[in-house]
Each structure stands twice: as structure tokens, then as C-alpha cells.
Chain A
Amino acid sequence: MNVSHTIVRRTAATASVVLAFGALSALPATASGGGGVEHRGNCSMNADWKLKAKADNGRIEVEAEVDSNKAGQTWTWRILHNGGVSARGTATTQPPSGSFQVRRLLVNAAGTDQIGFRSTNPASGETCSGSLRF
């Protein structure tokens, strides 16, 4: 599995983490800072996924993206929060990028929140899966 990483808000701490683990290409990329966390990774075939979370007045704004470079594909998706399904739905990749995005607000629970994203293309059987801790 190929992994690329982009740092949205670079900090010294995250930079050191990225440098330390950059060679581990099997792990998704992580970026955090200013209250926001972002993970990226590759799906099981050709698509990429991105999962972002940031604080929003007691809530967590979660944004997930799947980019397959092919418009018109229908994907099912789920957002998981501390193991439970917080939101689910279907989405179609849009031109010109051939990607879709979903954005949901989650309630910021006590302690660290475990946020996950799962998406499947039933036609191709490709799956994307990512998570982050907030």
C-alpha cells in the first residue's frame, strides 16, 4: 500500500513524528495542530482517502474524502465515533477530480475521541478505511 503525507499545520512536534515514521510507508500520514488533525491514506485499489477533524464549539467537525480519479462511482461510507456508527450514507464521485467529500459534526465526548471512516465501492469491491484520535 502506497502512502503519501501532507502536513496541513506543521508543528515541531508533528514534524518530528513525521520524520521519525516517514520511512514507514505502510502507515497513513498524520498531521495535527491548532485543534485540527488530518490523516491520509490509500484505499485497497487505486483511490485515496483523507480524514480531517477539528474542534467546533464543543463539537468535532469531521471531514472525509475519497478520491478515485473516476467520476460517477457510487460509494457507501460510514463515520465511526468511539466504535459506534455516528453517520452513514452513500456518495458519488464528482468531476473533475473524481472524488467525494462528506462532512459531519460529532459531539466531543469526554476524553479522547476515536474517529473512524470506512467507505466501500460495491461495484469494484474497493474499500477505504482510516481513523484518528482527537
Chain B
Amino acid sequence: MAPQPAQQRPRTLGAADLRRRGAWLNPVLLFVAAGALAVVVLLVVLSWFSTRAATDQAIFDARSVTVVVAHSVAEPAMPVGLVEGRAASVDRFDRTVLSRLLVDRIVRIKIWDATGTIIYSDKVQLIGEAFGLGADEQEILAHGGSAADVSDLDEPENRFERGHGKLLEVYTQVHSPSGQPLLFEAYFPYSDVTQRSADIASEFRPITMAGLVIFLLLSSPLVLVLARRLDRSAADRERLLVAAVEASDIERRRIARDLHDGVVQELAGISFTLSATARQIHEQPEMTRTLDSLGAGVRRSLRALRSLLVEIYPPDLRTQGLPTALDDLLAPSAAAGVDVSVAVEDTSKVSPDQVALVWRGAQEAVRNAIRHGRPRSLLVRVSALPAGVQLEVRDDGVGFDPAVDPPYGHFGLRSIRDLVEEAGGSLEISSAPDHGTTFRMTLGET
């Protein structure tokens, strides 16, 4: 009988299956989601950077205002006698400060000499008090430049500023009419810096956001087109693959049928003829032995050819059954002297797809055991589980070190593993040098 077409083959996932797995796999949706996430992340990052840059800009603006006010208003208005604390000079400068310096949100002015004494402040109670100067302030007083810092309102020289909230103090160098370097210090509400920073950042945020959104809007249709092309390509590849597999299947079926119907039948006939002839010429023992020997050789060839047929074209598991198929699979090993045993529990409740996958797994595991393991014994056991099936192929061969030679480095095993994972099962291969190998495949629920 010619081998029947296999009707229970493990099915591979196609494009349609991928589509059914969920819309989240849709590349366009993924792109849009990733783009939206990128927009959010970029906005957060850009906001942080723009806020920081805007704060620096606002502080720079405050420094610029201070330098301008100090050199264009305060310094020219500074009368002789101010540094010495002459009352009339202080009066004149005070009136200038009140009318011309306390502008642009400046809430306090202090002018220090090198000893750290306040020679003038619009808070006149501070005039004449000494607090000392920090290193940065000394540096600017001596060499010029400007600097800004948040005011420490706990310091005694800032005790009158405590009602103004957080302040930014900016200092720069000025000179008295006699050329003595002094430190000019102006205080600004820090809320001005914050507000300025927010204003600058808010100017850039819509630009950034609009740019990203426009990019997303423009690129999404392109991605959609590309995704559809990819989808079509995948479908085409799938169709080509299926066609190639089917063509191969048909060819293998034809070869198997030809072998079975031709060579196998011929060999079977020759075997029968040799046996019958040997019985008829029993008076010639030498010839009888020769014919028996030839008959045995033909039968061995016949078994080998049948195993080859199983290899070339898998049996029909539904009609022949898994035990028979496994027996045929192991027949060459038994003939080669390996102690083989097959134990198959009732698999009638196991789905055809799972039975087919068990067959594929057994085929691969047995092939690997014989080729690489050189075992003395080989056990194939198929156990029915409450809602699945388990295949175990165990040999006592040379084994291998999984760390050195990963089992999934081999194409066959990798292919089986992929099929098992797609079917929702698990595959476990355990081995050690000189301790054989166990191949365990579990499908369905344990």
C-alpha cells in the first residue's frame, strides 16, 4: 500500500494569525504609539532644558540690568563724601536711588566697601553696618564682572528683605568719585526669574510640539503605506512558501509512492522467491544457505527502504497511529543494535495537531540521538496528560555540555522549539557529557 498523504502536519503561523493576535502588533499603531511616547518624552526633556536655559537667560537679564543701572545711574550719581558717610552726600545719593534706581523690579540696593561695610542702602538702617564679604563678592569688587545668586534671607544683612519672598541678588563693581572700588548689589524678586523663564519656555514649547506633531502626521501615512507593502510582501512570501512546501510534498509523495509500488514490491517478491527457492533445493545445502543469506539481505534492504519511506514522507498518523509510526521510526535503530523501546499511552483524546507535533519532535530527537549520541539504548515515551501530551526521548549516549554546545544551535531543534512555542507548549533538553540526553516536549496543559 502506498503511503497516504499526511493530513496532520504542525501548522506554522501565517500573516493572518499574526493579524489575529492583536491590533497592537499593527506597525502603524506601534509607530503612532511610539511617536506619541516620543513626543511626551521629548516635551518633558525639552521643557527641562528650555526651563533651565530660560532661567539662565532670566538671570543673565537681571545681571545685565544691574550692570547697566550700576554704571549708567549709580556710579555717575555717586557724590563725593558718600564713602565717608557724610550725611548730605548720603541724602543726595539716596534721592537719586529712590527716584531712578529702584526701577525694573529692583527691590533693594546695597553698596559695600572692601571692608564689608554697607556705605549705602535704600534701607537706610543698614548704612554703616559691617557684615563682611564672601570670596566671590571680594573677587568681583576687586576685579570687576558680575555674579548672581539666590539671597540667603537668614543672613543678618538680608533681614529687611525677608518680606519679599525668594530674591535674586546680583552684584557688580562700581567706583566712587575718588576711584575706590565698591560692590554694587541689587535685589530682584526671584518670581521675576521664574516668570521670565516660564515665558521663554512657553514660547518654545508650542514650536517644539507643533514640529513633532507635524512630523508624526506627515510620517504616519508613509509608515501606513510601508506597512501595507510589508504586509503584502509577507503574504506573498507566505504563499510562495506554502507553494514550495506543497510542491516538495507532492514530489516526496511521488517518490515514496514510486519506491513503495516499484522497488519495495520488487524486493518483497524477490525475498519471497528466494525463500521459496531455498526451500525447494534443500538437497543442496550450500545453495540453500546462499539463498537464505540473499533473502535476509533483501529483507534488510526492504526494512531500510521502508524506514527511508517514513523519513521521506511521514506516515498518516490518523490511520496508522502514532505507535506504528514510532515503531517504523525506530526500526533502523533497532536493526543497528540499539536497544529501543517505545511506550505510547492512549492519545485518542489528543488533538491531531499535537499528535503531529509529537511525531515531528520524536523524529528530530531520535535522529539526533542516533547521529550524535551513539546510544546503547533509546527510549521513546508518549504520555497522555489531562489536557495535553508529553513526549520524552531518552538515550544513554555520549551526551553533550549545553553550555558549550547549545542544543538550539541546530536548525532542526530550533525549528521544533519554534513550533512548540507557537503551539503554546514547552521543550526541555537536558544533557551532560557521558550521561545521555533527555528530550522532553510538553504540549497543552499539564
Contact = CB atoms under 8 A, between A and B. Distances in A.
Given A58-B123, A82-B86, A106 B91 contact: yes
Contacts of B124: 58-59, 107-108
The contact size tier of chain B is 10 to 19
Contacts of A87: 91-92, 95
A106 B89 CA distance: 10
B125 A84 contact: no
Given A59-B124, A110-B128, A105 B90 contact: no
A83 B88 CA distance: 8
A85 B95 CA distance: 13
B123 A84 contact: no
Contacts, number: 46
Contacts of A110: 128
Interface in A61-120: 80-87, 104-110, 113
A105 B122 CA distance: 12
B404 interface: no
A106 B87 contact: yes
Contact of B88 (A58, A59, A85, A108): A85
B125 A58 contact: yes
A24 B166 CA distance: 58
Nearest to B79: A84
B127 interface: yes
A105 B125 CA distance: 14
B14 interface: no
A107 B127 contact: yes
Contact of A104 (B81, B91, B125): B91
B301 to A, nearest CB: 122
Given A82-B86, A82-B87, A84-B87, A105 B95 contact: yes
B360 to A, nearest CB: 97
Contacts of B86: 82, 84
A106 B93 CA distance: 10
Interface in B59-113: 81, 85-92, 94-95, 98
A107 B128 contact: no
A84 B81 contact: yes
Chain B interface main SS type: helix
Given A58-B125, A84-B81, A110-B128, A104 B95 contact: yes
Which of B81, B95, B98 has the most A CB atoms < 10 Å from its CB?
B95
Nearest to A111: B87
A3 B164 CA distance: 49
A86 B92 contact: yes
A68 to B, nearest CB: 26
The contact size tier of chain A is 10 to 19
Interface in B111-161: 123-125, 127-128
A96 B81 CA distance: 41
B123 A107 contact: no
Contacts of A85: 88
Contacts of B92: 86-87
Which of A85, A104, A107, A113 has the most B CB atoms < 10 Å from its CB?
A107
Which of B90, B94, B98, B128 has the most A CB atoms < 10 Å from its CB?
B90
Which of B87, B95, B124, B125 has the most A CB atoms < 10 Å from its CB?
B87
Which of B81, B123, B127 has the most A CB atoms < 10 Å from its CB?
B127
Contact of A109 (B81, B90, B95): B90
A84 B88 contact: yes
Nearest to B123: A58
B88 A86 contact: yes
A83 B89 CA distance: 11
Nearest to B94: A107
Nearest to A82: B87
A81 B128 contact: no
A84 B94 contact: no
Nearest to A109: B87
Contacts of B81: 84
A107 B98 contact: no
Which of B92, B94, B125, B127 has the most A CB atoms < 10 Å from its CB?
B92
B87 A113 contact: yes
A105 B97 CA distance: 12
Contacts of A113: 87
A82 B87 CA distance: 6
Interface of B: 81, 85-92, 94-95, 98, 123-125, 127-128
13 contacts: A80-B88, A82-B88, A84-B81, A84-B87, A84-B89, A104-B91, A105-B94, A105-B98, A107-B90, A107-B127, A108-B124, A109-B85, A110-B128
Given A83-B88, A84-B87, A84-B88, 17 more contacts: A58-B123, A58-B125, A59-B94, A81-B87, A81-B88, A81-B91, A84-B89, A87-B95, A104-B91, A104-B95, A105-B95, A105-B98, A106-B91, A107-B90, A107-B127, A108-B124, A109-B90
